[in-house]
Structure 1
Amino acid sequence: MKHSEAGPSKALPPPPPVVPPSFVPVKVSGSNRTPMARRGFGTKGQRIPLLTNHFNVKLSSTSDHFYQYSVAFFYEDGNPVEAKGVGRKVLDMVENVYNSEMGGKGFAYDGEKTLFTVGPLPGTKLEFPVLLENLSTNRTARGGISDEVDTKRARRPPQSKSYTVKISYATKIPIQAIFNALQGQDSEQFSEAVRVLDVLLRQHAAKQECLIVRQCFFRDDPKNYIGIGGGVLGCRGFHSSFRATQAGLSLNIDASTTMIVRPGKVVDFLLENQNVRNIREIDWIKAKRTLKSLRIKSFPSNREHKIIGLSVKPCGEQTFSLKQKNGDSPSDAVEITVYNYYAKHHRIEVNQSRDYPCLDVGKPKRPVYIPLELCELLPLQRYTKALSNLQRASLVEKSRQKPRERMNALMGALKQSNYGADPVINSTGITISTTFTQVEGRVLDPPKLKFGSGGDLTFVEPAKKITCWAIVNFSARCNVDGLRRDLRRCSEAKGMDLEDAYDVIEESPQFRRASATVRVDKMVENMRKALPGPPLFILCILPERKNSDIYGPWKRKCLVDLGSRTQCIAPTKINDQYLTNLLLKINAKMDGINSLLSMEHLHSIPLVSQAPTIIFGMDVSHGAPGRSDVPSIAAVVSSRNWPFISRYRASVRSQSSRVEMIDGLFKPIAPDQDEGMIRELLEDFYLSTPRLKPENVIIFRDGVSESQFNQVLNIELEQIMAACKFLDESWKPKFMVIVAQKTHHTKFFQTNSDYNVPPGTIVDNKVCHPKYNDFYLCAQNGPIGTTRPTHYHVLLDQIGFSADQLQELVHSLSYVYQRSTTAISVVAPICYAHLAAGQMAQFVKFEDMSDSASSHSGSAAAGAGAGGFNQLPKLHERTRSSMFFC
């Protein structure tokens, strides 16, 4: 690798004797910290002109305020309207019929219970009756057939429904709040004012019949569709949001993709979704779950309906009561099958559907049946179920866009949106530029790395001799003997002393179809019989790539019960590059160091090398969307062996589902006992460093939005400070808090280039916040797609870094990731916290957690955790302080 230097390996100092710090009980006090203001701009690096997907917005409103109103909808009988989607139709009618009563004002409706106007409406309370033609009802005809197939009914005018709309004044929002924020002034109402502008864009997209997913808009256009299999399409669209920047108000537009079901015949969708060739092979129980709540269009009337289920019997056997007419007087009802009804009354023979269920589009106690072949799925219906591995891989591959391609797509989306034609948007005085904003970037030099005496081919500090280790194979088709031989050969080249594996334990064939936990238990039994004692390391060969159900139970068994460090693989092609990447992970897990920053080795990192410094990385892993029964997993990793910053350990806990703030940082349970994560990590630092407490504490936090910054400063930081005081009340370290955001929509492009921005590109001007201290960094090389920069927000700095010192530190921390010898997209401590939380989450996914298990990887049991969830198991003492997550 370039920019490296070779040198003799030097062992880190041995840990000092255990001298635990004193414990003094301290009460957590309240605080009211806010993010710090920018102190200056960086100057280092080669300057480079860039474009960004921000479009300048000019705002020259003739009104002083946006006015906010609450809106409620009621049926004719006075009951509130709960159905989603009716609000926009009703308000469109209000706008058309009662324009004069509304003072001629247009409005922006958020799709729920709020609307906004520029300037006030004529009154604070308004009420309008609305008659809305109901063109897509689920009315039943003659007991069990949708009335759209009844030719007599079809000739009647569509049913209408009466609504009452009540609009009441709520508050007013000063437009000046936007201008104040752009000038760097604090303005609590800025987010409310910008929300109005965002709602304007949402409403404009709704009128263009787009699918709206928060601030993302998707059009029904086959050119936007990406087939990923299983009847699922990726639908390309765009995200738009207003941002306050140093260059003024801007509209940030970015490409976005959501999953939708493939529109068209229901039968064709089911065949593709279940990967079967014939309708006879369809699993109808699975089909019922898949189709529920999807909307269809039925023929020949083109009416729309929502599916609530399937008929119990096939179309040729499913009966319903059909009322007969004899002149003007009805006669007794007769039972008739759905198939015979269509054949006799409408001359439609639904032979394809005769032996299969009908769609039920009625209500739970009043079914309405339509044969499958007369139904088509409507476009732009979101697919919210989890994607398979193949679907996910296909989506990633097909949705990539090169920089120039993405720029063209964004420009096309802006033109197609045609915001200038919207009268409500025009009434605000908004003018949106049609050109990308120009910014100046700087390309930082990559930090020099130190490897072993053999250059970048050898590890700077190989793990100690690995003697008793084993290979286990869970029925994977793999040349184990070749892997065993080549792994030893490559380890010697890297400077590792890896003896030959003591044994290879193959899974017994009779257990291949057993549950994952049984397979793991049987493998451990066989391993104990074959080995003289617990192995130091186990190489596990899994039968499937990605999400193998064996992974979670196996990791838990090794890390918790056996105390063995383990690496799982599922190789498809084994070559030297594959083995090198594998050895990077193994060496880090076995306490080796693959590479160091040269300035780390020379103790020349500004401020960090001059005083004992601990670096934390913090992240929270959540369960799948909608799974409130699965706890969230919080992880904190911390650096050890100061003055080095390349080795870390982790503390992990479960907490209430979907909660982003970490609540286990400080947990005093007695006057002299703290069960918190920070105490565990601080003691580890104290013991891995010659009895030194850190004078500087640098915290990198991942996964929080701007609205949660104050919580990070006033809840999480307060816990960390309290944990420090609990250890020693006289100890007053300096703190720095930095939030890293990866899920944002700012991209950078080189002018007239098909290539991504160079690695090390940093931007802290124009599109950054007008007041607060933030910057964008593209540390990684992005050869595929369009590089996503990481957005760093410096919330607090008591240490006193200059802009250049801090930006170079963040850049350097992107190079200390032990699984790679090049830069990654975010600082290594955050990446490690993400890996630790994800790996421990596998324990929750595959096994019930014991009530008596420990709350994290290092302290005593704490019982049930927040939200009623049992706690994570306690890691074995031999794996607790390792980089098991690497």
Structure 2
Amino acid sequence: MELVDVEPARVKKITDEQRALMCKHSSVSPQVYIKSIKEIRNNPEKQCFEEDPFVAAWNMNVSTDMLTLPARVLPMPEIVYTDQYHVTSGSVRDVGTWQMKPTRFHTPANFPAVWGMINLSSIEQHACEDFYNELSNIAGERGMQCCPPVIYEEYDSRNSTADEIIGVLNLFLKRNSGCNFFLVILSANSKLKSKLYGSFKKLCELEFGHGAVTQMIQHTNAVVGTRRDKARWDYAKLSNILLKINTKLYGINAVLKVHDVIERFFSHGHRVMYVGADLSHAPPSARSQPSVVAVVASADDVPSRYFKEVYQQHRPESARNESREYIVDMKAIMKSLIQQYERHRTYPPSAIVIYRDGISESEFDTVFEKELTAIREACVELSPVYRPYLTYIVVNKRHHTRFFPVNSEKNVQAGTVVDSHDITNATTYDFYLNSHHGTLGTSRPTHYHVLYDDNKLRPDEVQMLTYALCYTYARCTRSVSIPAPVKYADFLALRGTYYIGNTDDSDTESISSEPFIAVGEETDINNTITSQRIVLSGKIANDCPFFL
């Protein structure tokens, strides 16, 4: 007889296809959501409120009726592509989403004279040429000038490992060091595709990398599809690819014409810097992995260009299970971003609006106090008389609040804002904003807490400003659920996880650490969070949003 000890099963990362199926089957439509609420309300057996000892101890009564609250719908900003083509609320079927007609980008970019295409799929070269020809036709409609790729590299990845392919690509990039833009058609193998994506991005974007901007293409988007029994390209998907390419090549897809209430925040010369900040923690199964700090700051009035800083934070062994954490090097980060802004525009920002993601309400006092103090110290170190106006807003989607229109079982319209005292905080200013058009499941509004405001924004101003920034997202023709700077910080944090998956010491720059303060515990001076800056390639412009 033999005894075999089996190691505990490890949860593996699901594939992109599995994630898409999971989202599709786990989404709950507004009709089903409302029906389940009504079932609990109408069935006493499902109501356990009266049996709850805490409810009884506090002599509380729980109403089974949904609250009826006042709400309003903010005006949709006007999206301006050219003088001849504007998108307004009256020209769209659903507010928050629009079709981009065959028209020019506001500021179309041009493909560089020397650029390359890398084919890691099983698609034949002539099919890749067909893909480029169709892409260039649509790019011409957008006002972009294209030239065929000077460099073409084909590598069938079906019988190779990710490490072997990356080794070949590293040599290829060294041979073509003068090329700084590549279209990469990915493998159809989901596992291989995931590994290649992160490794190749790291190879191109870190300090000692090749300094190349890349646009990855799913293999299914690089071949002609079949619609209504005819071979047709997916015009919408190719258009979305060009939205990202144009932005990465220093173009501007569209600008906003906003309501008079907030016009000053988008006008030239007002010098507002919009900041998105996120701190992404490792999953529970990998607590030894560092957290990733990602902060982006707008470089122009649109805003479309963004400066960026990425750090990794290592928690001490004694605090590995503590998920609450503040951005340790916020002072160094903000100092760098303000300096980049000043070099770019010859003057520093006079106002800074910060959207901070990833903070729960229990962390507000600790995190806000430390980070705001660090931002103020950064300004003073730059100049003793430099005092920009600051607004610090927390962005939170981790809640269970849902809104439904009265006498309707649909999602609320994009732009719906609720700030009724019945559901908001009595001591701070907060509001709920549903800024996107819900297409799958029940829309979840975003909960905003304005923790600090030197700019003295009125409720109308902060709500409309936040809503307008949801329309500046460059990757698609729709408003998103959180302001674009926060969305970009989320993308950059995700990119940071690729960087540190196998990070060399040479790719990081040590920064002094500060004491770790666990919420609700005594401070232990020996518990420190070490923070390291992830140094990006100096060959890529510092305001290039290559992470889109």
Confirm or deny: 8 A CA contact 2:262 2:464 kept in the other structure: no
In structure 2, relative to structure 1, the CA distance for the partners of 1:571 and 1:441 (3 Å cut) is farther
Please give the residue correspondences for 1:372-771 in structure 2 after superposition, counting only pairs within 5 Å.
Answer: 386-413=13-40, 415=43, 416-422=45-51, 424=53, 425-452=55-82, 455=85, 456=100, 457-477=103-123, 479-507=127-155, 509=156, 512-529=158-175, 531=176, 533-544=177-188, 545=190, 548-560=194-206, 561-573=209-221, 574-599=233-258, 605-606=263-264, 609=267, 611-641=270-300, 643-657=301-315, 658=323, 660-666=325-331, 676-689=332-345, 691-765=346-420, 766-771=422-427
Equivalent-residue separation in structure 1 for 2:271 and 2:387 (angstroms): 13
Equivalent-residue separation in structure 2 for 1:659 and 1:452 (angstroms): 46
Question: What SS does structure 1 have at the residue aligned with 2:296?
Answer: strand
After TM superposition, give the deviation of residue 569 of structure 1 in Å.
Answer: 1.7
Amino acid at match of 1:749: F
Question: What SS does structure 1 have at the residue aligned with 2:68?
Answer: strand
Confirm or deny: 8 A CA contact 2:325 2:367 kept in the other structure: no
Superposition RMSD in Å: 2.9
Confirm or deny: 8 A CA contact 1:631 1:869 kept in the other structure: no
In structure 2, relative to structure 1, the CA distance for the partners of 1:795 and 1:844 (3 Å cut) is same
Equivalent-residue separation in structure 1 for 2:535 and 2:454 (angstroms): 36
Question: What SS does structure 1 have at the residue aligned with 2:80?
Answer: strand
Please give the residue correspondences for 1:202-241 in structure 2 after superposition, counting only pairs within 5 Å.
Answer: none
In structure 2, relative to structure 1, the CA distance for the partners of 1:726 and 1:603 (3 Å cut) is farther
1:350-383 deviations in Å (ceiling 9; x for gaps):
xxxxxxxxxxxxxxxxxxxxxxxxxxxxxxxxxx
Equivalent-residue separation in structure 2 for 1:591 and 1:423 (angstroms): 59
Confirm or deny: 8 A CA contact 1:851 1:870 kept in the other structure: no
> Unaligned regions of 5+ residues in structure 2, if any?
86-99, 222-232, 316-322, 515-527
Q: Show the counterpart of 1:851.
A: 505
After TM superposition, give the deviation of residue 653 of structure 1 in Å.
Answer: 0.7
Amino acid at match of 1:605: E
After TM superposition, give the deviation of residue 656 of structure 1 in Å.
Answer: 2.0
In structure 2, relative to structure 1, the CA distance for the partners of 1:681 and 1:599 (3 Å cut) is same
Amino acid at match of 2:286: R
In structure 2, relative to structure 1, the CA distance for the partners of 1:874 and 1:390 (3 Å cut) is closer
Equivalent-residue separation in structure 1 for 2:154 and 2:12 (angstroms): 36
Question: What SS does structure 1 have at the residue aligned with 2:286?
Answer: coil
Instruction: Select the structure with the greater relative contact order (CA < 8 A; seq sep ≥ 6).
Output: 2
Confirm or deny: 8 A CA contact 2:253 2:474 kept in the other structure: yes
Confirm or deny: 8 A CA contact 1:562 1:876 kept in the other structure: no
After TM superposition, the structure 1 stretch with the greater mean CA deviation from structure 2, 574-583 or 785-794, is: 574-583
Q: Show the counterpart of 1:809.
A: 465
After TM superposition, give the deviation of residue 713 of structure 1 in Å.
Answer: 2.5
Confirm or deny: 8 A CA contact 2:182 2:212 kept in the other structure: yes
Equivalent-residue separation in structure 2 for 1:870 and 1:851 (angstroms): 10
In structure 2, relative to structure 1, the CA distance for the partners of 1:492 and 1:813 (3 Å cut) is same
In structure 2, relative to structure 1, the CA distance for the partners of 1:870 and 1:747 (3 Å cut) is same
Identity %: 28
Confirm or deny: 8 A CA contact 1:564 1:879 kept in the other structure: no
After TM superposition, give the deviation of residue 723 of structure 1 in Å.
Answer: 0.6
After TM superposition, give the deviation of residue 452 of structure 1 in Å.
Answer: 3.0
Please give the residue correspondences for 1:75-86 in structure 2 after superposition, counting only pairs within 5 Å.
Answer: none
TM (norm. structure 2) is: 0.83
After TM superposition, the structure 1 stretch with the greater mean CA deviation from structure 2, 564-573 or 811-820, is: 564-573
1:841 to 497, 506, 511: 497
In structure 2, relative to structure 1, the CA distance for the partners of 1:699 and 1:782 (3 Å cut) is same
After TM superposition, give the deviation of residue 288 of structure 1 in Å.
Answer: 5.3
Whichever structure has more helix as a proportion of its residues is 2
Equivalent-residue separation in structure 1 for 2:262 and 2:15 (angstroms): 47
1:26-85 deviations in Å (ceiling 9; x for gaps):
xxxxxxxxxxxxxxxxxxxxxxxxxxxxxxxxxxxxxxxxxxxxxxxxxxxxxxxxxxxx
1:384-427 deviations in Å (ceiling 9; x for gaps):
76545444333221121111210121233454432255273435
Equivalent-residue separation in structure 1 for 2:363 and 2:398 (angstroms): 15
Whichever structure has more strand as a proportion of its residues is 1
Amino acid at match of 2:63: S
